[in-house]
Amino acid sequence: MTRHLFTVAAAFLLLTTTGKAQSVTGELDAYWAEVSRTVAEGDFEGYSAVYHPDAVLVFAIQDRSVDLETALAGWKPGFDQTAAGDLTASVDFRFSKRLISPTTAYEEGIFHYMSESAEGTGGAMVHFTALSVKKDGRWLMLMENQVSMATLEEWEALADQ
pLDDT reported for residue 157? 96
Average pLDDT, the chain: 90
What is the per-residue pLDDT across 75-95, written as a single tens digit (0 to 9) for each? 999 999 999 999 999 999 999
CATH for the stretch 2-157? 3.10.450.50
Per-residue pLDDT, averaged over 21-42, amounts to 94
The region of weakest confidence among 17-26, 64-73, 117-126, 137-146 is 17-26
> Amino acid identity, residue 78?
G
pLDDT reported for residue 90? 97
Q: Decide if pLDDT at 18 tops 80.
A: no
Q: Decide if pLDDT at 59 tops 70.
A: yes
Quick check: 48 and 41 in contact, CB under 8 A? no
Residue-range domain boundaries for the chain: 2-157
E strands, 101-119, are 104-117
Q: What percent of the chain has pLDDT over 90?
A: 84
48 alpha-carbon distance from chain centroid: 13
Q: Decide if pLDDT at 4 tops 70.
A: no
Q: Decide if pLDDT at 142 tops 70.
A: yes
Given the DSSP bridges, would you call strands 64-67 and 87-100 parallel, antiparallel or unpaired?
Answer: unpaired
pLDDT reported for residue 20? 58
Tell me the pLDDT band of 6, cut-offs 50, 70 and 90: very low
Per-residue pLDDT, averaged over 146-150, amounts to 98
The region of weakest confidence among 11-20, 33-42, 78-87 is 11-20
Task: Name the maximum alpha-carbon separation found in the chain.
Answer: 73
